């Protein structure tokens, strides 16, 4: 069984990401569940601001609750949660094996498409992808999101000049948005300019923090580009199965 770990951003700030991810999982026919009120924050912010004991307590709780369900896989749509589960939890808990596999949504989408559990509709649009720091520089997860996008019939993937390991940060992470709001907005505006230079119709990414900051930049600048997180984009593209 698979557990969808929703994360704070998709729960409180961008519920459309959570709803889209759940709809994709339902359409795929995967046996999945969520932790509900047993889900605690992944601890990424606590860990990266020096509160190691709190981060460890959060890790212990989440891992214990996932194991209680007998799950062998966990998927999250949040780049920060993914890095925290995949890299930090084993270090915090002193183990090489949490007892379950950790996946990011692009990895799961790739699996669902390759195994035929979902089919994609045509999308005759140009799309550019923003690399989140937590899955890019931290996890070297550059190719899978692009492979998934290129599986969409009709979709044309256009790259920003600064991409992959050279991608410009969106300005939301590392506490920058909280502590230096003007700097965060300026960075988001500049990244949006990178996207606009490609003439893409859709800007997508795989991180709720990036989506939140870049979507604000889109609204602030009145641009025509549409900002979508990957689950928000793919929930539109997956062919709905007959419920009969």
- 243 within some domain: no
Q: Which of 65, 83, 112 corresponds to the end of one domain? A: 112
Number of folded domains in the chain? 2
Specify which residues 204 forms β-bridges with: 129, 228
Instruction: Provide the residue range defining the domain that includes 62.
Output: 2-112
Same domain, 124 and 204: yes
Q: What angle, 0 to 180 degrees and rounded to 10, lies between the N-to-C axes of helices 15-28 and 105-114? A: 20
- Six token digits for residue 61: 């709780």
Same domain, 14 and 73: yes
What 172-178 contacts at long range (C-beta under 8 Å, 24+ apart), as own/partner pairs, is 172/209, 172/210, 172/212, 172/213, 173/80, 173/132, 173/133, 173/134, 173/209, 173/210, 174/48, 174/133, 175/45, 175/48, 175/49, 177/209, 177/213
pLDDT of residue 244: 41
Mean pLDDT by 10 residues, the chain (244 residues): 97 98 97 98 94 98 98 98 98 97 98 98 98 96 98 98 97 87 96 98 98 97 97 96 55
Which secondary-structure segment (H or E) carries 153? none
Same domain, 195 and 130: yes
Same domain, 199 and 151: yes
DSSP state of 238: B
Diameter over CA atoms, the chain: 53
Same domain, 144 and 224: yes
pLDDT of residue 24: 98
Question: What is the rounded CA–CA span in Å between residue 24 and residue 26?
Answer: 5
Same domain, 63 and 135: no
Q: Which of 112, 145, 177 corresponds to the end of one domain? A: 112
Same domain, 145 and 192: yes
Same domain, 159 and 207: yes
From edge to edge, which strands make up the β-sheet containing 32-34? Answer: 32-34, 2-5, 73-76, 101-104
Same domain, 85 and 66: yes
SS3 state at 72:
coil
Q: Which of 55, 85, 112 corresponds to the end of one domain? A: 112
CB 217 within 8 A of CB 192: yes
The structure's pTM equals 0.96
Encode 155-169 in three state secondary structure: CEECCCCCCHHHCCC
- 242 within some domain: no
pLDDT of residue 242: 52
Same domain, 67 and 147: no
């Amino acid at each position: 069984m698979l557990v969808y770990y929703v994360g704070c951003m998709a729960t409180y700030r961008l519920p459309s990401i959570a709803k889209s991810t759940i709809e994709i999982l339902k359409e795929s026919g995967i046996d999945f569940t969520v932790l509900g009120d047993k889900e605690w924050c992944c601890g990424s912010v606590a860990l990266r601001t020096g509160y190691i004991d709190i981060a460890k307590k959060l890790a212990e709780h989440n891992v214990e609750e996932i194991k209680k369900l007998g799950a062998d896989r966990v998927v999250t749509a949040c780049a920060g949660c993914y890095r925290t589960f995949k890299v930090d939890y084993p270090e915090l808990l002193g183990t090489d094996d949490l007892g379950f596999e950790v996946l990011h949504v692009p990895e799961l989408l790739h699996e669902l498409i390759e195994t035929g559990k979902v089919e994609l509709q045509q999308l005759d649009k140009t799309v550019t992808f923003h690399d989140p720091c937590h899955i890019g520089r931290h996890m070297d997860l550059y190719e899978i999101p692009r492979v998934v996008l290129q599986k969409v019939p009709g979709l044309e993937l256009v790259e920003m000049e600064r991409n992959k390991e050279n991608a410009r940060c969106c300005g939301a992470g590392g506490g920058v948005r909280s502590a230096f709001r003007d700097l965060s907005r300026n960075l988001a505006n500049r990244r949006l300019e990178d996207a606009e230079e490609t003439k893409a119709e859709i800007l997508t990414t795989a991180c709720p923090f990036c989506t939140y900051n870049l979507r604000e930049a889109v609204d602030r600048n009145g641009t025509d580009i549409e900002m979508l997180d990957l689950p928000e984009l793919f929930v539109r593209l997956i062919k709905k199965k007959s419920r009969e």
